[in-house]
Structure 1
Amino acid sequence: MKPKISYSAAFWIASLAIALAKIIFLLRPEIDLFTEEAQYWLWSKNLAWHYYSKPPLVAYLNFLSTSVFGINEFAVRLIPIIFGMGTSWITFRFGSYLHGEKIGFWSAMILQAMPFWWMISTFHTTDTALTFFWTATFYLLFKALKENKKRFWVFAGITAAIGLMAKAAMLLVLPFLILYLIQEGKFGRRLKNLILFTLLLSLGFIPILVWNFQNDFITFKHLANLAGAGEGQSSAFSIGKSLESFGGYLEGQLAMVSVFLLPLIFGAIKQVFKFRSQEKFYLILPALLTFFGFGFLSLFKEALVNWPVFTYAGLAILSSAWVAEQTDFWRKMRNYGVAISLGLPLLILLPDITFFKSIPPIKKGEKQLFKRMSGYDPLAERVEFLQDSLQLDEVFIFSETYHMASELSFYLEAHPQTYMLNMGARKNQFDLWPGMEQFVGKDNTGIFVSWNYDSPGEFAEFDSLLYEEKFQVYFRGDSLRAAKIQVWKNLKEFNPYQPETY
């Protein structure tokens, strides 16, 4: 019996419904931009070849969307919704290419049920575009190998180059491809196309090199620091701490693919090693390389939970194909696993229609979950009110973190360039922009806003304090946290902390 609708139509209905839920989420008044999203948006007001820690694509995407839709949350978060849907569509196409549209549909549904996909498709970070372009490159390279057509190598090289402009992790496509070709036994026959692909990929490296050449290769120092090779990183090795760090990393990765889908993923992985298949090995190799690579790094340095997840789309296709060969019990496991894994994020993101989230323990958990995404809009409104009521002119606004400075720039009505007063943090993009030194002795008014400090202290000295207050912000009627706001007159001395670490 044929299904009432095609699997292609079912994919689009499900995907558009999820996209609608995300739009409803971004319209929730108590939820603001995530602090990293605000930072990347501020980059778009200062377009460059590259930035301190990341390539430029995230800034240019923000510039494009806000130029069309204006500076608002919808413009920023529309990008991950589109790219997330695009990643799912490529997964659908890849699964369909291998096994037919039914497997393609369930591949996309399993992917969309994974928490990491919700993360990269809801919040606009560098992983948003990276995951899309990695998945596109991954699919095109498979078609290039399978059909032996040069145009797929060219397309894959172009998508990889764009992906490299999203995040440097895109470079991991080369060791993956080389290892696959070696074990395939056709490295020599594929060498010319591999060189072509590598040359095209390297085009995406040009902005990184140009900007870093002009800025003392600061990004490379930053990446070395993240890998544990920077200055001041040496410390006594502790087996206990290393195992604890790896345990946290492992726990994070299991959570990123959903505990409700783990039986399917484990079954699919077991089959790959039990029955040798080039196709299945290709699907699993990127996930294995990044999982174990960053897992090894976690023994010596904290490895963030999001680092390897951009390669996990292949796991969804493997799992979908594996379940299709199993009994009805496993298909029910898939259905329930997908339904629960999709339902939980929707319950978290959507407004409290059922009042379920008004239950005190659940409300408290939601408040903690969204703590870094709440309070900035009303805080910016308060700063604007103080500027008007105190009749302040020639104002500059600053904080001790780039998080607060970026959020205020986004939510203040005029979207001014804000400033960071380094009071002990590592280097960041604000260190490369003109800072508060330009206001020394200029008879300006500085507004200091902080969650953490009561004053700028010895790092910035002013003539006088004009006004100060503690401003309380709330989440769904409950107290969340308080920010200190101080209005200072005439910056006399500027002595920020000079970080040595990257």
Structure 2
Amino acid sequence: MSRVHDGCIAMSREDQVSGNISTQSMWRLLLSAALALCAVRLMVSYATGLSLHGDEAQYWTWSWTFEFGYYSKPPLIAWVIGAATSICGDDTWCIRAPAALFQTATAILLAGTARLLFDNRTALWTGIVWLTVPAVSFSSLIMSTDALLLFFWTGCLWAYGALLRRPTWGAAVLLALCFGLGLNAKYAMAYFLICALVHLLISAQARQKARVAATHLIAGFGLGTCAILPNVWWNKVHGWATVGHTADNVHWQGVVLHFNELGDFLGAQFGVFGPVLFVVLLLVIPRSRRACQALSEPARLLLAFSLPILLIISIQAILSRANANWAATAYPAAAILVTSVLLAQTRRRWWLWGSIALHMIVAAGLYGAVLMPGATARALGRDPFQDLSGWDQVAYQVTDRMKAENLSVLLMDNRMMIASMAYALRDQPEIVIRTWNHDTKIDHHYEMAWLYSPSVDGSRVLLMTPHGTQSIESHFTKVKELPPIGKVDRVGQAKNLELRVLEDPK
């Protein structure tokens, strides 16, 4: 039977015998749950009335043109949004729909991986666990690179496990496709190579199987890596924009240790993966060589594809900072591992079911907060989604002011506001949006692509900014102050945006 030894789970062959559920029943139950939850998420997204987040709106503006790269990310998210909007238009629900669809597909693919390593019962509950993980419930409502990355990461995990089990060219092609597309979704896909190396280092059996599958593995990873070469070329042509942005995110500044950042990052993981699941994951970490030797081969593989990522991002947090989602690729393998541990004994299964119930309550609270702004504002004292509302009204007011002043160029200096206004003004093609760069450094996509040029855009513009305007006013000869615009969120809270008509650049 399964046993916890020195903080590490060791699984016998007996634990891997299929549970009392047929393959057909397992897939029927999982698909029913996955499609039902996906439908709920799509309906919530449709009913919210929330505008796009600044990052989402930025990705949407990227999708206007087909490129092999964009300022801060590889190109896949823009391609996916472009494909979605070509089918169902530019409404917010349509732009966000791929997130819910990809997370649903990830759960199904992850169940297939769990079945490859364990049994039908583990596969079913792994899929359900993934569908209800707090980060997945949240990520299914926003269009981000993580939804794409996690799907292709999980596809790579299945293909890698299948190749070690029995090398086939079909699995090698799948590995190449998923690895290549994953790299084009987010550079964090490269962690997969590190995890594979760790797996080969800690498992003699894996090394033996990898020798047999060496040609297939090399072909899969090699061809997949070739898929990122067009993005490398794009970066070279554009001054290594994405590479520079990634380096800025890492933000190392000498040997300065930030243990408070590590605490914040690790604390956030209880919310990302769920408190019960994250605690169990920490408990299964081997604490001695003997414990490592007691690991089953599936457990070795799953730990190798989760713990190194948590360690890398924890080091990053100590050296600078780390966002909560930067370790997202640790959790597909961790979901399988933790599910198998909790299913191993009857008394542990209650923790699994309790964790799923808790996550469902959290998801209901999240979706309720999205759909009922008044109740949420009364409970929290504010609307947590206030930045995602009010932009349509701002766009109407800006359009009226620009018509009254006979202006066609709207100038801004805030990336998130530029993106939000670009989406809000999507039906006003006569308005040209431009950004102001306060220094010579390119800090975001719009400073690279939408930079204001008097010789091209004219000498009269409307400046809109959420902060002081003097640093920009000083570059123009004539300045006319207009009454500010109030951006009012869903519960009536207002935020003023300053307006100036600027003429004759110095």
Is the shorter-chain TM-score for this pair beyond 0.5, marking a shared fold?
A: yes
In the alignment, what sits opposite 1:76?
95
* 1:105 corresponds to 2:133: no
- SS of corresponding position for 2:312: helix
**CA separation of 1:2 and 1:291: change in aligned 2, threshold 3 A:** closer
Q: Find the partner of 1:86 among 81, 84, 105.
A: 105
- SS of corresponding position for 1:71: coil
In the alignment, what sits opposite 2:421?
408
Asked if 2 retains the 8 angstrom alpha-carbon contact of 1:267 and 1:322, the reply is: no
In the alignment, what sits opposite 1:309?
328
Q: Find the partner of 2:375 among 347, 358, 362.
A: 358
**CA separation of 1:85 and 1:491: change in aligned 2, threshold 3 A:** farther
Deviates more, 1:264-273 or 1:203-212: 264-273
Structure 1 unaligned residues grouped into runs of 5+: 494-502
**1: distance between equivalents of 2:478 and 2:412?**
18
Within 5 Å, which residues of 2 pair with 1:252-267?
252-267=268-283
Per-residue Cα deviation, 1:208-227 (whole angstroms, up to 9, x for no partner): 21112212223223323333
Q: Find the partner of 1:49 among 49, 65, 68.
A: 68
Asked if 1 retains the 8 angstrom alpha-carbon contact of 2:454 and 2:505, the reply is: no
- SS of corresponding position for 2:306: helix
Asked if 2 retains the 8 angstrom alpha-carbon contact of 1:398 and 1:421, the reply is: yes
**CA separation of 1:53 and 1:377: change in aligned 2, threshold 3 A:** same
Asked if 2 retains the 8 angstrom alpha-carbon contact of 1:357 and 1:363, the reply is: no
* 1:379 corresponds to 2:401: no
**2: distance between equivalents of 1:144 and 1:73?**
40
Q: Find the partner of 1:347 among 333, 345, 365.
A: 365
Asked if 1 retains the 8 angstrom alpha-carbon contact of 2:434 and 2:452, the reply is: yes
Per-residue Cα deviation, 1:11-34 (whole angstroms, up to 9, x for no partner): 223222322332233234552211
In the alignment, what sits opposite 1:432?
448
Within 5 Å, which residues of 2 pair with 1:394-473?
394-412=407-425, 413-414=427-428, 418-423=433-438, 427-438=443-454, 442-444=458-460, 446-454=461-469, 457-458=472-473, 460-461=475-476, 463-465=478-480, 467-473=482-488
Q: Find the partner of 1:208 among 219, 231, 251.
A: 231
In the alignment, what sits opposite 1:226?
249
Per-residue Cα deviation, 1:412-439 (whole angstroms, up to 9, x for no partner): 1236552222347861111221421145
Asked if 1 retains the 8 angstrom alpha-carbon contact of 2:155 and 2:174, the reply is: no
Code of the aligned partner of 2:42 = I
Code of the aligned partner of 2:226 = L
**2: distance between equivalents of 1:371 and 1:119?**
16
Asked if 1 retains the 8 angstrom alpha-carbon contact of 2:111 and 2:127, the reply is: yes
In the alignment, what sits opposite 1:185?
207
Code of the aligned partner of 2:155 = A
Question: How far is the alpha carbon of 1:59 from its aligned partner?
Answer: 0.8
- SS of corresponding position for 2:140: helix
Question: How far is the alpha carbon of 1:352 from its aligned partner?
Answer: 8.0
**1: distance between equivalents of 2:438 and 2:233?**
30
Question: How far is the alpha carbon of 1:57 from its aligned partner?
Answer: 0.7
Question: How far is the alpha carbon of 1:268 from its aligned partner?
Answer: 4.9
Q: How many residues align?
A: 476
- SS of corresponding position for 1:465: strand
**CA separation of 1:36 and 1:192: change in aligned 2, threshold 3 A:** same
**CA separation of 1:285 and 1:347: change in aligned 2, threshold 3 A:** same
Per-residue Cα deviation, 1:371-412 (whole angstroms, up to 9, x for no partner): 332322222232234345x2x545122321111101111111
- SS of corresponding position for 1:312: helix
**CA separation of 1:340 and 1:356: change in aligned 2, threshold 3 A:** farther
Code of the aligned partner of 2:233 = V
Asked if 1 retains the 8 angstrom alpha-carbon contact of 2:195 and 2:305, the reply is: yes
- SS of corresponding position for 2:463: strand
Code of the aligned partner of 2:381 = K
In the alignment, what sits opposite 1:170?
189
**1: distance between equivalents of 2:76 and 2:173?**
20
In the alignment, what sits opposite 1:143?
162
**1: distance between equivalents of 2:161 and 2:327?**
20
* 1:478 corresponds to 2:500: no
* 1:490 corresponds to 2:503: yes
**2: distance between equivalents of 1:174 and 1:441?**
47
Code of the aligned partner of 2:95 = V
Per-residue Cα deviation, 1:171-215 (whole angstroms, up to 9, x for no partner): 122122223234333354443233212221222221221112212
**2: distance between equivalents of 1:171 and 1:297?**
16
In the alignment, what sits opposite 1:337?
355
**2: distance between equivalents of 1:57 and 1:398?**
29
Code of the aligned partner of 1:408 = M
Asked if 1 retains the 8 angstrom alpha-carbon contact of 2:109 and 2:154, the reply is: yes
- SS of corresponding position for 2:381: helix
- SS of corresponding position for 1:165: helix
* 1:67 corresponds to 2:86: yes
- SS of corresponding position for 2:496: strand
Code of the aligned partner of 2:452 = M
**2: distance between equivalents of 1:407 and 1:120?**
19
**2: distance between equivalents of 1:157 and 1:394?**
51
Structure 2 unaligned residues grouped into runs of 5+: 1-19
Code of the aligned partner of 2:268 = G
**CA separation of 1:102 and 1:347: change in aligned 2, threshold 3 A:** same
Q: CA RMSD in A?
A: 2.8
Question: How far is the alpha carbon of 1:148 from its aligned partner?
Answer: 2.0
Asked if 1 retains the 8 angstrom alpha-carbon contact of 2:343 and 2:352, the reply is: no
**CA separation of 1:155 and 1:417: change in aligned 2, threshold 3 A:** farther
Code of the aligned partner of 2:68 = W
Question: How far is the alpha carbon of 1:162 from its aligned partner?
Answer: 0.9
Within 5 Å, which residues of 2 pair with 1:117-128?
117-128=136-147
Question: How far is the alpha carbon of 1:296 from its aligned partner?
Answer: 0.7
Question: How far is the alpha carbon of 1:156 from its aligned partner?
Answer: 0.5
Question: How far is the alpha carbon of 1:459 from its aligned partner?
Answer: 6.2
**CA separation of 1:313 and 1:401: change in aligned 2, threshold 3 A:** same
In the alignment, what sits opposite 2:45?
26
Deviates more, 1:169-178 or 1:408-417: 408-417
Deviates more, 1:284-293 or 1:14-23: 14-23
